[in-house]
Every structure is written in structure tokens, then in C-alpha cells.
Amino acid sequence: MEGKDLRVRRAVESLQEYVPVHPLEEIGAELGIPVERLVKLDANENPYGCSAVVRDAIACCASYHLYPDPEQRRLRAALARYAGFPEDWLLAGAGSDELIDLLIRLVVEPEDRVLDAVPTFGMYSFLTPIQGGQVVSVPRRPDFSLDIPALLAAIDERTKIIFVASPNNPSGNLAGREQILALVETDLLVVVDEAYWEFSQESVADLVATHENLVVMRTFSKWAGLAGLRVGYLIAAPSLLQHLWKIKQPYNVNTAAQVAARAAIADLEHIQQTVARILAERTRLLEMLARIPFLQPYPTRANFILCRVEGRSARELRDALRRRGVLIRYFDTPLLQNCVRVSVGRAEDTDRLREELLALA
Ligand SMILES: Cc1ncc(COP(=O)(O)O)c(C=O)c1O
């Protein structure tokens, strides 16, 4: 069909599509492998799923015919207990992806600039041009640490936001507290994306209390097993949040998601046990990967491990593992040459990955 002249905005016409992960059923059908034989290590999800308490809470909720609470009162009360910040310092979103979008929409005018430190999570550079902004990507150092002098030098009068993921995806390393403070001192909006905080247990959230231009973002997608329900939250000063409340869609976090996130906080001990299992498995996975002759794993503070692939193509390795039913991510960009990223799964997932890697050696 020929496209009608709908006058799509130029920023959208030239947009690079985001490459998302696809449903297991679709991949299983394409590969001719039953879904239960697939090992999903490509999106840093919690392989234990959500807890029985969360599933029951979702099943028992009787108000799906009503709109969700636009002010997320009960969810924010639970988040206040969990995150240790008052409710008026918290706002929930449909995943942290929505919160990234909201923050960009809050401050970016056409031609404004957004800084990120690459390689990093792709959503910052995906969402900025939709708003008409321009991403300025500052390379990290060879060990993936932030290059603070280069970030500071990249700031100009059109710079509006600096995004830093800590731990960073896909490299797994943390940003230093002093480094974040150096960025905050610029008075620009600094967003620290702590999507993997539960695995690193290191945060700069306490600095939000004294720095109005600092925002910390978190998510229920990784540690709490709720990626499919889309719940994230941010911690920010009420003076900044008041404006985000004005632009967020009223019913952005649906009822099932709000119920599930509250239940996850109520069932904290159980979920923290799965996090502890993932952390224990991370050590085992790292040791296993280090013994594979063609892989060089990097240290990590998150629930995934980045590996440099040596002497063969990372893409072909990803493809070969995929054909065998093991799903991982690969990267081959100038700053991240010939690498794969493996999420930490269950012990049986590590065993299966090992088996398939050895078969491909
Ligand atoms: C650094 C980082 N931030 C945010 C997200 C997205 O989280 P959510 O599922 O809450 O949108 C991801 C997911 O991969 C991530 O790696």
C-alpha cells in the first residue's frame, strides 16, 4: 500500500527503530523449539517470575472495570516504605521507559541536547529525537567508567539532561558517587537510572534530598519479575515532580500493575530470596564464562554479564546459540566491538548455556 501524505513529523520519519525483544512463543515457532526448551538470557528479567503472593493479588483484584488511581496513592505509600522517601518525592510510570520519556518531554525543546555515556541503554537516544532533541553520546573509558572531563566538555547552552545508568547496561559497572556529584554540580537535570539497584545495592538516591536537579529512576522489571506489567518509579524533589504530574497521562500505571507492585513490596522477603539466588548464580555464571576459551567476561554489579568474544563473530555466536534455543544479546558497534551480553538465569540455565557453548567450541 502506498503511504498517504500524512505529514508525519520529520523527526519521526528519520527515526531509527528500537530493537525490542520478541515473545518466546514467536521465537519458539520460528525455531521449531518448544517454548519450555528455550533459555531466555537476553533481557535481564527475573527467571523466577513473580511470586505466588503477587499472582494471587492480581487474580483477586475486583476493580479492573474501574480506572486506576491516577495519583497512585497506595502504590506510592508502598514505594515510600520500600525506597525510604516520602510519597511526595515519588512518581510511578509504565516502566522506567515511560519515565525516561516524561523527563525528556519535560525539558527538551527542539534542537536541545541530551547527553548520555555510551555504550549504554538505548532508550535515552531512542526517545530524545522523537521530542526533536539531539543526543550527544560521550564515549566511556575503555573500562566503561564515565569520562567526566569529556562529559563536562560536551555540555553547551542547549544541553538539558545527562542520563547515566548505574549499573550501566550493557557493561554492568557502577558510576562513582563523586562522578555523579560532579555532574550534578553543573545544575543540569541529571538522571541516574538505577534499574539494577537491587543487584548492586549501591545508590545515589540519598543525594536527591539535597540536589533538586538529581533524579533517580528504578524499575520492578528486573528484580521483582514484573517486566510484563510495566512498573517503574522515580525519586525526585517535589519542586520537579509537580511538573511531571502535569504532563503524565492520568492513568499511566494500570490497576494490575499497581496491585502487583504493592504485593511485591509486601512479599519483599520472598523476592529478595530470588535476588540472592540470582546473585549466587552470577558468581557461578561468571566462573563458567571465564573458562570458555573464546569469551572474556567483564566484572558486573547487575544481573547480566558482558563478554568480549575473541577469535570468532559475536553475532554468529548469538545466532548459533539461538538456533539451539539459548537467547542472548550481541553487540557490534565501534565502542562495543564483538560482544555478547548474558543475563543471569537459574542454575539449569547456566548449565544449558555451558553445554551449548561447549558444543559450539
Ligand atoms: C538501564 C535500564 N534502564 C531502564 C530499563 C527499562 O526498564 P523498564 O522495564 O522499567 O522500562 C532497562 C531495561 O533493560 C535498563 O537496562
Taking CA atoms, 296 is separated from 140, 338, 342, 351, in Å, by: 19, 11, 12, 18
User: 263 near 119, Cβ under 8 Å?
Assistant: no
Check if 232 has its Cβ closer than 6 Å to any atom of ligand 1: yes
Q: What is the pLDDT of residue 2?
A: 60
pLDDT level of residue 17 (50, 70, 90 thresholds): confident
At a CB cut-off of 8 Å and minimum separation 6, what does 56 contact? 263
* DSSP-assigned states of every residue in 238-282: HHHHHHHHHHS-TT-S-HHHHHHHHHHHHTHHHHHHHHHHHHHHH
What are the helix (H) ranges across the chain?
A: 10-13, 24-31, 52-60, 73-83, 95-107, 123-130, 148-153, 177-184, 197-200, 238-247, 255-266, 268-290, 314-323, 347-360
Taking CA atoms, 315 is separated from 309, 330, 332, in Å, by: 9, 6, 8
| Residue 104, number of CB atoms within 10 A of its CB | 25
Check if 289 has its Cβ closer than 6 Å to any atom of ligand 1: no
The per-residue pLDDT for range 145-188, each reduced to its tens digit, is 999 999 999 999 999 999 999 999 999 999 999 999 999 999 99
The per-residue pLDDT for range 32-56, each reduced to its tens digit, is 999 999 999 999 999 999 999 999 9
Q: What is the pLDDT of residue 21?
A: 87
Cα 191 to ligand 1 centre (Å): 13
Check if 95 has its Cβ closer than 6 Å to any atom of ligand 1: yes
According to DSSP, residue 141 is labeled: P
In testing the pocket of ligand 1, which one of 46, 118, 222, 300 has its CB within 8 Å of the most ligand atoms? 222
Cell reading at 331:
553487540
* DSSP-assigned states of every residue in 198-239: HHH----GGGGGT-TTEEEEEESSSSSS-TTT--EEEE--HH
178 CB-contact burial (10 Å; exposed 0-12 / middle 13-18 / buried 19+): exposed
The residue ranges of every structural domain in the chain are 20-49+269-360, 52-266
Domain made up of 20-49+269-360: CATH architecture: Alpha-Beta Complex (3.90)
Nearest to 174 by CA among 301, 343, 286, 308: 301
Check if 227 has its Cβ closer than 6 Å to any atom of ligand 1: yes
Residue 198 CA neighbour count, 13 Å, CB half: 26
Cell reading at 126:
531512542
Overall average pLDDT of the 213-222 stretch: 98
Alpha-carbon distance of 112 to 268, in angstroms, equals 41
Check if 168 has its Cβ closer than 6 Å to any atom of ligand 1: no
Cα 219 to ligand 1 centre (Å): 7
Residue nearest to atom 12 of ligand 1 (CA): 195
Check if 93 has its Cβ closer than 6 Å to any atom of ligand 1: no
Q: Which atom of ligand 1 is nearest to 165's Cα?
A: 1
Check if 96 has its Cβ closer than 6 Å to any atom of ligand 1: yes
Q: What is the pLDDT of residue 11?
A: 85
In testing the pocket of ligand 1, which one of 41, 121, 218 has its CB within 8 Å of the most ligand atoms? 121
Looking at the predicted structure, is the pLDDT value of residue 338 above 60?
Answer: yes
The per-residue pLDDT for range 95-142, each reduced to its tens digit, is 999 999 999 999 999 999 999 999 999 999 999 999 999 999 999 999
Alpha-carbon distance of 146 to 175, in angstroms, equals 7
Check if 121 has its Cβ closer than 6 Å to any atom of ligand 1: yes
Same fold, 20-49+269-360 and 52-266: no
Q: What is the pLDDT of residue 1?
A: 57
Looking at the predicted structure, is the pLDDT value of residue 79 above 60?
Answer: yes
Taking CA atoms, 89 is separated from 70, 83, 237, 247, 249, in Å, by: 16, 10, 5, 16, 18
Report the mean per-residue pLDDT for the chain: 96
Note the CATH number of domain 52-266. 3.40.640.10
